[in-house]
Structure 1
Amino acid sequence: MALERLGGAFLKGGQFLGTRRDLVGPVLATALGRLQDDVRAMPVADALAVVGAARVEHAGAVRAAVLAGPVAGGSIACVYRAELPGRAVAVKVRKPAAVRQVTADTRVIRAAARLAARVPACRGVPLTDIADQLCRCVLDQLDLDRERRNLERFGELVRDAGGITVPGVVAGMCGPGVLAMDFLDGLDRSGCAALPEAERTAAVEALVRGMYDALFRHGFVHVDLHQGNAYFRRGRDVVVVDFGFVHQLGALARARFTGFFAGMIDGDGAGCADTLLATARSVADDADLAGFRRDVADLVVRNCGRAVEDFSLPLFAASLFDLQRRHGVHADPEFTFPLLGLLALDGLVREHHPGMDFQLEAAPFVMAGLLEAADDGRPGAGVRTGPASGCSGG
């Protein structure tokens, strides 16, 4: 596959498109789905060199695992199964080539953003800011120690949630370019589709609630939730892995994004417009603020209270970005990350639980996030007391 040969950030884009059967069709989505955990392995010599330099504990077991071959492979790393007495360990080893590829890709992305920013239709759009934030997030995937911290953090966030399992870190076997964690059996990309309907919908709901809690209450965004990173196990749980592509929202950005989503749930288009204006990175001198408020309100009211099968988050996001461009109002680029995370989650829900009210399911977590932000005194995070337009999703 051409994307696999390109590697780096291009391969990451292919993985994301594989989550959107509604956009690319089932045949292409299935082909792209292979990129989620079955990318070509790195040469054995490369993996052994990384492991040797990391000086991890149980080096003999790790070396044997590398020689046996990977059990999974992604754009950044390969995963090997190491056998210890009474314990299996998943050892994630960063590909040396990924460092070069991803670094080069981010240069291309930044250059493309600078060129696009000169196009009259894009004038004023903070494309370079968006590209810089996205590139930093992509480059962060190369840091497996950062991923270790993300893994431990998310494990803490969902510890009491029920229905979600995160592998525990095996600290002594981690090192530069190496991340070790408990090896969990029964991980199969097709596992969700094979579940009985009631079990499948319950598992999807558990995953969505865990992600909503992390996002709206803690600002923790898993940007890369494709089905090579979320596995559904029959009669048990959802296993979430790979915390490289994670973004931590600042407290103010979290409060304002939560406020915006609250407006979507309530059908409060005017409130959503106010939130976007409060977060605006730039407003053109000739900006049509009245038209902006009108169009945001119309977009929100038209999409309020719809189940996933009737609500297109990609179309909503595209429309939102387009009306910002047309009216000369450009919101905080940091909003890009929760939208990307929700787009990936929406793709999974659309395939396996299309009757879910994606917006209303978020309501208790949004309310909790607003209350906590208000307690912290965050501006623009006032608590909403009820629907502004009679739209409650019920």
Structure 2
Amino acid sequence: MKLLATRRLLRILRVVIRYRLDDLLLALPLPWPLRLLGALLPWRWLPRKPLALSRGERLRLALEDLGPIFIKFGQLLSTRRDLLPLDIADELARLQDQVPPFPPAQAIARIEQQLGAPVSQLFARFDEQPLASASVAQVHAAQLKSGEEVVVKVIRPGLKPIIRQDLAWLFLLARSAERLSADARRLRPLEVVEDYEKTIYDELDLLREAANASQLRRNFEASPLIYVPQIHWPLCRHKVLVMERIYGIPVTDLNALAAQRTDMKKLAERGVEIFFTQVFRDSFFHADMHPGNIFVSTRTPWEPQYIAIDCGIVGSLTAEDQDYLARNLLAFFKRDYRKVAQLHIDSGWVPAHTRVNEFEAAIRTVCEPIFERPLKDISFGQLLLRLFQTARRFNMEVQPQLVLLQKTLLNIEGLGRQLYPDLDLWSTAQPFLERWMRERISPLQLLRNLQNQAEQVPQLSQMARQTLDRLNHPQPAAPLRASWPGRLIGAALLLGAASQGLLLSMAAWPAWLMLGGGLWLLLRR
């Protein structure tokens, strides 16, 4: 094991020398003893041809040379645009998730070991030549005994020892960078590696991916917007996943999409609608929406439908994060920077002691130049990115779900503008957000929230349930027994409860009693 680790270290060192990554390290403001030590490295005294490559290109090529685990790390690193210089983040985003396939015999052996039967008994046909090969798994086409066409995803053999070794070196490099450089500490490399560790181990569990795909499919059952392939659960294990095979056009194949006369404007707008529906309606969003995971159905090009695969990485937001994010975005639309600053403080995204006026001025400085451009030329994702970067100056701690959200939004917006360059994401998103906010504070939704939170108060829960039944299944009008003064008192009680703003607090008994009494007076017959 030690020999393998040593060999791996020597390979990493060779790649560092080849792409001169030490130059990137020495460009940081290091203490002079370390700079002197770096200058004395033996290979720096050897003649070297100049490299006509940017620092981002050198880093990308080095990660590609180091293999699948480092490629995956580079992909994750490219999403941390709140931490990285943009030129490096843009270059890392070009990393392709294509690596040489492993031998079919190993794939078959793993399938049979996981499912406990020969491939010939499990499938009517199994194609040994893989359809695609990625950093942690590869995919084979097959046919079930029932005649259904499927794909079989298999985790690469022998990954865990390599992952453990590479993670150990990554943690060592991250800790060293944080100790040596204040600039590196600002980039928080240790946190980035920890995020990667969780992500890579999650992706090794295909049952998790299958569960995510099933949830996403259920959320968009019979939807014209997006289709998610069916999971064949009896044939799924931790290292093997079997799902319905889909046939579609890769979303980046613009010529094929044009040939079938796809409505590109509608396709781009539907991508935006899918994103906001996942984030705000479901609080469950596909967070790996790079072009390799998205296809377009060939069935109804005039009403284009997306097809999504590879649900290994998903994100979610709490109800509080949803609410504050929507309010932030709507405040941006109205250039209400004071409200944006206050919402960040109220949500806990920046410390409570932050001075609102200073934070407001910083946000205005970033946003005003953007708003001077036509709406269709404004990058929604870049605006969110700049907001995070500005907030970081005020000690904002970017939460993992917000990083995934930012990454996904950047992917969706970039894809949408590739499909339809005149896409105005702002005008597409604003009506959705406004409608969602209206629905969130509608009387019907408030009653649903009340029912969900009042289980500890049986009478109030029953009253809310009866009210919901009446609203959902209205009965023919009957003579009201409540007098008009009673109805007015009931309305006043409701207004009083609402004005207290205490509906979500179980300890706020006056508001609960006012609400219950008001509903009873208004709705009794």
Q: Same fold (TM over 0.5)?
A: yes
Alignment of 1:44-55 (within 5 A): 44-55=104-115
Number of the residue aligned with 1:390: none
How big is the shift at 1:292?
1.9
Task: Render the CA deviation track for 1:341-388: whole Å, top value 9, x for unaligned.
Answer: 111112211211221121332234423544565544999xxxxxxxxx
How big is the shift at 1:231?
0.9
Q: 1:228 aligns to what SS in structure 2?
A: helix
**Deviating more after overlay: 124-133 vs 223-232:** 124-133
How big is the shift at 1:268?
2.8
**Deviating more after overlay: 160-169 vs 144-153:** 160-169
Match of residue 271, structure 2, among 207, 227, 235: 207
Letter in 2 for 1:320: L
**Deviating more after overlay: 208-217 vs 60-69:** 60-69
Question: Does 2:336 correspond to 1:268?
Answer: yes
Question: Does 2:285 correspond to 1:221?
Answer: yes
Cα pair distance change 1:200/1:15, threshold 3 Å:
farther
**Deviating more after overlay: 150-159 vs 43-52:** 43-52
Cα pair distance change 1:17/1:321, threshold 3 Å:
closer
Number of the residue aligned with 1:382: none
Question: Does 2:155 correspond to 1:94?
Answer: yes
Number of the residue aligned with 2:132: 72
Alignment of 1:105-254 (within 5 A): 105-107=166-168, 114=175, 119-120=181-182, 132-133=194-195, 135-188=197-250, 190-196=252-258, 199-236=263-300, 237-254=305-322
Higher relative contact order (CA 8 A, sep 6+): 1
Q: Based on CA coordinates, which of the two structures has the bigger radius of gyration?
A: 2
CA contact (8 A) 2:114 2:237 kept: yes
Number of the residue aligned with 2:406: 339
Q: 2:224 aligns to what SS in structure 1?
A: coil
How big is the shift at 1:7?
0.8
**Deviating more after overlay: 183-192 vs 42-51:** 183-192
How big is the shift at 1:243?
0.3
After superposition, the CA RMSD in angstroms is 3.9
Task: Render the CA deviation track for 1:241-283: whole Å, top value 9, x for unaligned.
Answer: 1000212223333333333233333333222222322344664
Work out the CA distance in 2 between the residues paired with 1:273 and 1:300: 12
**Deviating more after overlay: 233-242 vs 320-329:** 320-329
Match of residue 383, structure 2, among 313, 316, 319: 316
Identity level (%): 23
Q: 1:255 aligns to what SS in structure 2?
A: helix
CA contact (8 A) 2:235 2:242 kept: yes
Number of the residue aligned with 2:346: 278
Letter in 1 for 2:358: G
Number of the residue aligned with 2:362: 295
What is the TM-score with the length of structure 2 in the denominator? 0.60
Q: 1:68 aligns to what SS in structure 2?
A: coil
Cα pair distance change 1:218/1:98, threshold 3 Å:
farther
**Deviating more after overlay: 331-340 vs 361-370:** 361-370
CA contact (8 A) 1:264 1:304 kept: no
Work out the CA distance in 2 between the residues paired with 1:241 and 1:73: 14
How big is the shift at 1:141?
1.6
What is the TM-score with the length of structure 1 in the denominator? 0.78
CA contact (8 A) 1:88 1:183 kept: yes
Q: 1:231 aligns to what SS in structure 2?
A: strand
Q: Structure 1 stretches of 5 or more lacking a match?
A: 380-394
Number of the residue aligned with 1:367: 434
CA contact (8 A) 2:249 2:296 kept: yes
Work out the CA distance in 2 between the residues paired with 1:261 and 1:112: 38
Letter in 2 for 1:261: L
Cα pair distance change 1:101/1:227, threshold 3 Å:
farther
Q: Structure 2 stretches of 5 or more lacking a match?
A: 1-60, 454-500, 502-525
Number of the residue aligned with 2:484: none
CA contact (8 A) 2:209 2:311 kept: yes
Work out the CA distance in 1 between the residues paired with 2:208 and 2:342: 35
Letter in 1 for 2:99: V
Letter in 2 for 1:255: D
Work out the CA distance in 2 between the residues paired with 1:81 and 1:308: 44
CA contact (8 A) 1:273 1:296 kept: yes
Work out the CA distance in 2 between the residues paired with 1:205 and 1:56: 46
Number of the residue aligned with 1:387: none
Letter in 1 for 2:256: A
